[in-house]
Every structure is written in structure tokens, then in C-alpha cells.
Structure 1
Amino acid sequence: MSKSPVLRRKPKAEQRAEMIEQILDAAEYLFSKHGLYGTTLKEVAQRVGVHHSLLNYYFEDKKALFDTVFARRAPVTIDRRMAALDQYELEAAGKPTVEGALRAFLDTDLDLYINGGEGWKNYAALGAQASNTPEGAALMDKHFDPLVLRLIGLLKQALPGCPEEDIFWGYHFVTGALLLTLARTGRIDKLSGGLCRSDDFEAVKDRMASFMAGGFIANCRRRAGV
């Protein structure tokens, strides 16, 4: 008579890690839809299927949970884009272009949302949601400033003589367009009668860097009187 297989009980550390991941996934989804103030810990707990007191065991409060959700994926996109900018600068050999720098910065990030599954799309929407609040802006500063300044440095090389404030304004317009895209509001779907879709990141990747590069160049030439 054969013996029944013995089911291995997961170590407590593994159970804890899995539970935290479930909580972070649920919170990420809800924060991406409703923001920090529009989401409650009780709603997160209900989505996970646990009592809300368990969340207080792992996280001090809702803001601590929000910060952890925001920080979880940030190093992945930051490291990928830093590496892409480094590689592009090396390949450019002292002659970077605006579009080349923007493609390293934008396309590398968009690839995560194209290929990374629904979790990454939720994170994208969360970033768009968070960037319009003081708390979210502080997290952007904390995690993303070194990456942004790396891009700014390449743009300065690509646009010698361009007033520095115009390069920063250019980045401001780029990040505004990117965050609107990541929010996937569906507005462009309605305006275009279905010709464009707000979740078509492939279409955005094909167009955004070249469109924004044209804006940088035109503005700098206008300011220089060329």
C-alpha cells in the first residue's frame, strides 16, 4: 500500500513574504484606481481576503503601505533606464541626439508596461495618480531625481547653447505627456472615435520620443532666434 505524499509546510518567512506580496499587489491595484486618499486599508484587506487588522501587523499605517507599494517596482525601471542612458551615451561617443536620449529614457520604460503584465500597468497608473499629489511628488523626488538629472545631462550635451531652463521645461512637458499616457484614462479613445487607444503603449513608443525631440529642438532654436 503506497503512502500518501507528505505536504510540505511552508516556512513562516516564506508565508510572510507571500502574504506581503499579495497585500502589495492588491494595494497597488486600488491605489492606481483611487489614489492614497480614495483607498482604505479595509478595502485592501477585502481584496486580499484577510481581516484588516493583519495589514496593521505588516504596515504602520496606510501611508507606509502606499510608500512601500511605490518603492517596490521603482528600482527596476530606474536601473533599466540608467543602464539604457549609459549605453546610449557610450554609443553616441560624445555626440548624443535629443531623440536618442529620449528613446533611452522613454522607450525602456514603456517596454516594461508593454511586456510586464497587468501589475506593471497598475504601477504605471499609480505613478500617474501619485505625481499629482504632494505625497506622490515627494516620492518621485526621492526615487527618480537622479535618473531625471542623468537624462537632463545628456540633453544638455545634445543641445549645446540651449538655455538650461528650456531643457528643464522640455522635460516637464515630456513627463506630463508620459504620465497622462500611463494613466490610461481612455479620453483619446473617445476623442479619436477608437482610432487611438490609451492602452496602446506600442503606438506611444513609436511616436513619443520623436515628437518630443522636435519640441525641444524647435523651442531652443526659437529662443536662439534661429
Structure 2
Amino acid sequence: MALLDEAAPGAGVVVFDAYGTLFDVHAAVARHAGAIGPDASALSDVWRAKQLEYSWVLSLYGDFRDFWQLTREALDHALARFPSVDRAIADKLLGAYRVLDAYEEVPAVLAALKAGGLATAILSNGERSMLADAVASAGIGEHLDAVLSVDEVRVFKTSPTAYALVTRRFGIEPAQAVFVSSNRWDVAGAARFGFRAVWVNRAGAPDEYADQRPVAIVRDLNGLV
């Protein structure tokens, strides 16, 4: 655990974002790309972007609808943007989203962290049942000490109230947790809260949020161990 020992000495809990970090958010569309046609990649990008946008807008004006509902609404919008795509594919896409592919290194990395004496958890915007389905499908439940959903507090990340689910669950101060996310906005929110935030930059994207820097940047989760 050289990276964590160096970047986050004394931390005892490693917390992961779920969608985009442990689970590939584009896997649902990829499974049905042939039926969708040439707009498959663009549709997937719009679906994801709107899913996140809706969570931010709701939080800003003080409302909440669970993430599964937002996922459905975002897909409706994406399909409306690409009328060439048969809307009959919607149910298949939603079914696939509940059992997204985990990135290939996920089970081994979680197991290694646990073997190293660290507690592990998920903190996600995801609704409880969709998280349960994804964790079960990936077979990683045995490697997790907690699966935390913002449903409990009814506000999405990057609200400090959402991140406080971790400190309350484990009885720790923010600096005692490492927070791992592929979403740079989530890393910024976690760093602002006081977590030791690690950015998983799979796409080699340029950095942003210069005022809220991660303690480390890795290309995939293998960089943690």
C-alpha cells in the first residue's frame, strides 16, 4: 500500500464512488450498441451527463428524487435527442444499468485493501437497490464493510451532508478516510470536506478544480495497491 502510506498516512478507511469508479457507466449501452446503431456512444455520453446534471440541479434548488428515477429521466432525454434510436431499447438499457460491468481490477484491489487491514466502503449517489444489484452482480460484497447511499440524507454529492455519511458510519474524522473517485468534481467535493481524495483518471483528462487537489492521481485502481 505504498501510495496510500505516502499520500494518506494514518488513514484506516478507503471509500469508493460507485458509478464510473467501480462500475463502467457506459457498459449498459455497450452491451446493446449493435441495436442502437451509430449514435450509441453519443447517446451514452448524453445519458450520463444528464443523470449527473439532474442531481446537481435538484440539490441546488433543495429537492431530491432518487438516482434510479434520475437515471430513467436522463435516458428518456437521451433517447429524445437521438430519434434514430428505437425507444423500445429503453427497458433493456435500464436493466443493463442495474448490473453494470465492474472494471476488471476491482475485486482484486478491494481484496488487497482488506487484506492490508483497511476498511472499505462505497459512498454513492446511487439508490440503495440499484447499488445492491451492482455489488451482487460484480461479486464484491464480501470485500466491502459498508455500502452507503445518499438516499439516507436526501441530498447528492458534492454536499458535505452526503460525505458525512462516511464519518458517521465509521466514527472517524474526515482525514482518516481516503476517498477514491473517477469523477473530478467528486474528488473536489471530497477534498473540500477533508477526505484524502484520490482521482482515478482513466481517460487521461486534464486537471481542474485547482483549489481542491487530490492527494494522488492514478490511472486505474491498481495504483492504490
With normalisation by structure 1, the TM-score equals: 0.39
Specify which structure has the higher proportion of strand: 2
With normalisation by structure 2, the TM-score equals: 0.39
